[in-house]
Copies of this chain bind each other. A is one copy, B any other.
């Protein structure tokens, strides 16, 4: 497949892309034309259909379309001049070409996560983890392909798994380094901390906030999901229940970041700091990736880091 990031001015393109939006507009001259946004996993590009003749088949937003087009340059940015369009059939394209996706091995990550689950000594927490991550095939499938964000860090297929594993491994280090930590509680809450995101964000290609996501948020939904399962299993003490739910509720660390409680247990604080550290490291990685051409140049003020930032020179 010809990826959008590789388009060169002047070349002819004939391939299938995901239509993110489509509008019919009127030019000054009174003539109608169509303006579309096309997407694959490497990026987005604008396209224009100037001649609405019968080479242009019907299609709508979120359809996959086969196009014949030329790559042009408009105000310094590439743009497609589209001559022919038709909706593609389901077998003609591979979904994974159209969504950003983790560059790590999903199955390998999943195995690492299961190993961490199995390292939890508290029998109740261990059974709880397995009930979701080892014994619920629907949940497992969803968890593996979910992103962890609409736009910021880990906003790609597999991002939720990648972020969860990375936080859990950092927590494993912390539990080893600081004896004050209850490892079972910390590992369990790390693995569950963002589980509510499954209901907060819709799947790709949409990957947008759901109604539940906007109104309730993943923090509440995660604690509610885990709490309900613990009640169903019936073997948990009150302390096992409220300590785990607390860690999930408090994992954003500050009220103004949406946690209804500040961390009151050392594990809740450790989890919130591990979560934050992983998010920031990944954000730096993604920032450099999307500015690869800049090399060691300053990238301007970055709101997330509240600073002008730069790749470290070797």
Contact = CB atoms under 8 A, between A and B. Distances in A.
Interface stretch (A57-65, A69-77, A134-142): A69-77
Contacts of A28: 72, 74
A245 B284 contact: no
A95 interface: no
Interface in A184-226: 185, 209, 211-212, 214-217, 219-220, 223-224
A32 to B, nearest CB: 9
Contacts of A313: 239, 243
A273 interface: yes
Interface stretch (A85-93, A125-133, A165-173): A165-173
Contact of A308 (B214, B284, B310): B214
Interface stretch (A11-19, A106-114, A261-269): A261-269
Interface stretch (A36-44, A151-159, A175-183): A175-183
A259 interface: yes
Copies of this chain in the oligomer: 6
Contact of A312 (B173, B177, B266, B277): B266
Contacts of A53: none
A234 interface: no
A221 to B, nearest CB: 10
A224 B228 CA distance: 9
B314 A182 contact: yes
B305 A262 contact: yes
B280 A269 contact: yes
A25 interface: yes
A309 B180 CA distance: 14
Contacts of A215: 242-243, 245-246, 249, 261, 264-265
B312 A185 contact: yes
A243 B26 contact: no
A96 interface: no
A307 interface: yes
A173 B166 CA distance: 12
Contact of A310 (B223, B264, B305): B264
A266 B284 contact: yes
A46 to B, nearest CB: 13
| A-B pairs with lowest CB-CB distance, top 10 | A215-B246, A262-B307, A26-B73, A266-B284, A178-B281, A260-B260, A215-B242, A239-B313, A180-B285, A173-B173
7 contacts: A174-B281, A180-B285, A215-B246, A217-B260, A219-B260, A270-B280, A274-B277
Interface of A: 9, 23, 25-26, 28, 30, 72-76, 166, 169-170, 173-174, 177-182, 185, 209, 211-212, 214-217, 219-220, 223-224, 227-228, 238-239, 242-243, 245-246, 249, 255-267, 269-270, 273-274, 276-277, 280-281, 284-285, 288, 298, 305-310, 312-314
